[in-house]
Amino acid sequence: DYLTSSLKLFGSSGTNPETLSRVMNYTQFKSNHSLAVKRMTISKL
């Protein structure tokens, strides 16, 4: 899973808050996107 591996990577390299927030924003965007796709798929059915 991408999120877990990236978090492990950041955890080992010692995070700065900027990178961490960037990752969080990205994952938030990804989850929102997948939700939107699911909704679209459901509405098509």
pLDDT in tens, 5-37: 766 666 655 556 777 788 888 888 888 888 888
pLDDT at position 9? 65
Query: Could you give the angle at the alpha carbon of 1 between the alpha carbons of 24 and 15, nearest 5°?
Result: 40
Domain, as residue range, for 36: 2-44
Q: How many domains does the chain have?
A: 1
Q: Looking at the whole model, is its pTM more than 0.75?
A: no
17-44 vs 2-13: helix crossing angle, rounded to 10: 180
